Structure 1
Amino acid sequence: MTSSETQDVRRVLVIAHTGREAARDVAAQFCRSLHAHGILLRLLEDEADDLDLGIEGVEVVKATAEAGADCELAVVIGGDGTILRAAELARECGTPLLGVNLGHVGFLAEAESDDVDITIDAIVHRRYTAEERLTIDVSVYHDKELVASTWALNEASVEKAARERMIEVVVEVDGRPLSRWGCDGVVCATPTGSTAYNFSAGGPIVWPGVEALLLVPISAHALFARPLVVAPSSVLAVEVIARTDGSGVLWCDGRRTVELPPGARIEVRRGRVPVRLVRLHQAPFTDRLVAKFDLPVAGWRGAAERRRRSENGDGGAHRA
């Protein structure tokens, strides 16, 4: 095969929450339609049997960081948890993720399960863009030795290991101590993760286009325990106080964990490699917030102007 022929080959990785019947049905619909349009399919080894497509020429690969290599995008069918799993398989090779929501809020997803035909048409005709989302790299030290390295798209959270006991931590920003807290934990989040655990912990919602790192204490027993937004170049550090009985656990995106003994130090900095998310619509993030959280906007005076523009053919409302 020549280089020009290689460039003409279109290949899509399909990842699904195959434990759910609805996800299997939608995945099968995507696969059969994309195959009918001459697009090569790639499936994960542990999902191929569950889908049982009966389509010839399907590539089956192991669930590794190279699973998305040479794919123009990865279609991810499920909730945000499935998209976070897919990010582990597509981040290093730069494959964009197109989330099809079967969950509840589904903030990371771009399409809903009842938009399958529209979404397939957009893929076939390449009517989509990809945007880069900031990630965080996380390092864990103990006795000044690096004991673990990982990353996150949404957040890294340092949490207490025992329900009945707080964790004692000192928080540091850019090499300078900020405060000591007895708390349930500390969340270090990205703008993408600001609508996830950060949101539940009382942190601010940050628009995806803003480059920043977030730090939010969870149930801290302290006078100063406010959410912080710092520069993307900053380095956040959380140290588990050595002279206490409390130990902790590090969670990254709710998927990867590291045990944290007293004296452990966790450093969080801007990630070396971003995650690319597919966008089908250029709707403002405000509209996405309103739609996902079902926010009340009745009474907004701009609605009349928007209707007038729509009636005059000047452009209708943006889709969330």
Structure 2
Amino acid sequence: MTDSLASIGTIGLFGNPAKAELPAAVKVIKDQCTRFGTRLFASTDLEAALAKDVSCVPNPELVKVADVVVALGGDGTMLRAARVLGLSGVPLLGVNLGSLGYLTDVPVQELEEAIKILLAGKCHLDRRARVYGSVWRNGQRLAGTNALNDLVVNMGSLPRALDMELTLDGDSLGRFLGDGIIVSTPTGSTAYSLSAGGPICHPSVLGLIISPICPHSLGMRPLIVSKDTKIELILHETGEGASLTTDGQKAIELADGDRVVFREADNEVALVKFPQSHFYRVLRHKLNWGGTKRLGS
């Protein structure tokens, strides 16, 4: 779902302080904020990497004061920023200081023009679904977590296959052995799920993607299910242990007998998009859709 972006009085900065390009990128944003009369705050995580003329505040305060948060880094930085924003609904814009940067909409070379367009109010919001997972042990809820890309159940540090059972709306698809399972949003369909053989979904698709990881069964294939489907994974035997990871960053340890229940989350992430932002164009450019270019073409 898309809608318009409200006027921006304050920009918040979140980023990867290890990126050498960060100080120069922040200076570009600060110059444009000065020109447009827009306030600028940065996360205290960036304080050591920035000039003293940029005010830094803790992440919870940054979320409260910002009308939009600009994430400077790669896709990992975008995913961390989405987690920091939580349920706030504050829009998120990604600036690519990394390599692939599939989620980051703005190449650093186009940053100045992008900020001008942003502050002129010529962007729109693309609201992306999240996936929610809860862990149950002995009938008690142990933990819960949201992800923008995916939730992944993985085997432990030693390569021992997991004995799992997948049920959809209470109907069992049977037990199987494998390295784990990925439950992704349409946004996450171009990430780990794609590497595991899952399909690519347009972000507007109302559903979730289930992609088994190296299943020892020819019948356990990736599935696209309705967003209202109750997905449940029962861990019958974990061998050397297992974990549930959130966007590849936050981990919850799992044990034999645990149940992990997945569904579409109640809250969305609002991504800032530009007039030239097109899903299929990004697919072609960043994932090299269609293969390599022939010589002379």
Give the TM-score normalised by the residue count of structure 1: 0.85
CA contact (8 A) 2:83 2:147 kept: no
Following superposition of structure 1 onto structure 2, how do residues 155-304 of structure 1 map, counting pairs within 5 Å?
Answer: 155-242=150-237, 245-296=239-290
Q: Which residue of the partner structure matches residue 34 of structure 1?
A: 33
CA 1:141–1:284 in 2, change beyond 3 Å: closer, same or farther?
same
SS in 2 for 1:295: coil
CA 1:245–1:298 in 2, change beyond 3 Å: closer, same or farther?
closer
Q: Per-residue deviation at 1:296?
A: 3.6
Q: Which residue of the partner structure matches residue 3 of structure 2?
A: none
Q: Could you tell me which of 37, 42, 62 is aligned with 1:67? A: 62
Instruction: Write the letter of the residue equivalent to 1:12.
Output: I
SS in 2 for 1:263: coil
SS in 1 for 2:243: strand
Q: Could you tell me which of 110, 122, 126 is aligned with 2:105? A: 110
Q: Work out the CA distance in 2 between the residues paired with 1:148 and 1:89.
A: 18
CA contact (8 A) 1:11 1:39 kept: yes
Q: Work out the CA distance in 1 between the residues paired with 2:164 and 2:276.
A: 42
Q: Work out the CA distance in 1 between the residues paired with 2:173 and 2:69.
A: 41
The answer as to 2:81 corresponding to 1:91 is no
The answer as to 2:21 corresponding to 1:17 is no
Instruction: Write the letter of the residue equivalent to 1:63.
Output: N
Aligned residues: 288
Higher mean displacement: 205-214 or 98-107: 98-107
SS in 1 for 2:233: strand
CA RMSD of aligned residues (A): 1.9
CA contact (8 A) 1:250 1:260 kept: yes
CA contact (8 A) 1:170 1:180 kept: yes
* Structure 2 unmatched ranges of 5 or more: 1-5
Higher mean displacement: 281-290 or 145-154: 281-290
Q: Work out the CA distance in 2 between the residues paired with 1:245 and 1:298.
A: 42
Q: Per-residue deviation at 1:46?
A: 2.3
CA contact (8 A) 1:161 1:249 kept: yes
CA 1:224–1:121 in 2, change beyond 3 Å: closer, same or farther?
same
Q: Per-residue deviation at 1:170?
A: 0.5
Q: Which has the larger radius of gyration?
A: 1
Q: Work out the CA distance in 2 between the residues paired with 1:118 and 1:215.
A: 39
Q: Which structure exhibits the higher relative contact order, with contacts defined as CA atoms closer than 8 Å and separated by 6 or more residues?
A: 2
Which whole-Å deviations, capped at 9, do the CAs of 1:267-318 have from their partners, x for residues lacking one?
Answer: 111101101100013443211100111234799xxxxxxxxxxxxxxxxxxx
Q: Identity of paired residues, percent?
A: 30
Q: Which is strand-richer, 1 or 2?
A: 2
